[in-house]
Structure 1
């Protein structure tokens, strides 16, 4: 989720702004619920592709002290850049690193 998006996980699906996220790249659907929560300005909501066993935004929020929001990653903490995609195999190759929107119908 990007700033301003409302993210929710329910019924084994991820929803962005109320629309289900199309995720052909995951092997197992999430087996937890989350949100709905709105991503604050300058922060991002991230999920690992192993939805059932990733230590990601949905898990960080559950370990946060009261009155503090830990679910999101501040933009200044995002420092990596992808250069190669190897999964799914039909997408194997170099990544062009342009900003793309997730496929939300």
Structure 2
């Protein structure tokens, strides 16, 4: 079950029991009689659930990085915070925008509900905005006919699934106003193509370009699937030095 939906059900259940007791049930109890356990727990948990629900829905929401598709920016095991109001306030569960603030910008790291299965949360970098013509040729992005600036930045080694040691090229890329590192594996074939991003949708890619399941494979991210902008790593059990790192 979607966690937001679970929280909403818990909120309505505890709040409903509390309200029912306040308006009717307590009037039938003997003076000084102890509250039923269900009522006692509902009154205790309702304010906590309400606070968590409001914070997660409109301010920030925590996520854990499950894969290496965004390396080297984000590592497996990073716990990140996502700004929920940067792209506008949305109705909890339904995810419809009721107050627009700004739209995702090229180069931002965005969390969204996977279009093929909205119960899954994905995180990728925004590459194409509505109306953009995106080309990917020989592992080089071109936006509206202009190549995205890249600069060699040495090599990067990591352990891939199956305990295989992998060494790939590390490049610094300038995408919009965002300068960040990406990984290129020359042993993997390039997935070349050209496409125009439809209105109300976004083209996204992982920073680990040759090991990312992204828009090149399953298409665009509709605006209604957008969750928020990732902005900080708040915890990593294996690397405490990453705590507090800003996501570029």
Bin of the TM-score, shorter chain as denominator length: 0.5 to 0.7
CA RMSD of superposed structures (Å): 2.5
Q: 2:228 — aligned with what?
A: 80
Q: 1:55 — aligned with what?
A: 213
User: Does 1 or 2 have the higher relative contact order (CA < 8 Å, sep 6+)?
Assistant: 1
Structure 1: stretches of 5+ with no match in the other structure: 61-70, 96-105
The count of corresponding residues between Structure 1 and Structure 2 is 81
1:93 aligns with 2:246: yes
Q: As a proportion of its length, which structure holds more helix? A: 2
Structure 2: stretches of 5+ with no match in the other structure: 1-127, 151-171, 173-180, 234-241
| Deviation per residue, 1:5-52 (Å, 9 max, x gap) | 000101220111111112411121684233311000000000000100
1:43 aligns with 2:235: no
Structure number, greater radius of gyration: 2
Deviation at 1:84, TM superposition (A): 1.4
Question: How far, CA to CA, are the matches of 1:72 and 1:31 in structure 2?
Answer: 22
Deviation at 1:82, TM superposition (A): 1.4
Deviation at 1:94, TM superposition (A): 6.6
The ranges of structure 1 where at least 4 consecutive aligned residues each deviate by more than 3 angstroms after the TM superposition are none
Q: As a proportion of its length, which structure holds more strand? A: 2
- Cα gap change, 1:27 to 1:94, in 2 (>3 Å): closer
Q: 2:135 — aligned with what?
A: 8
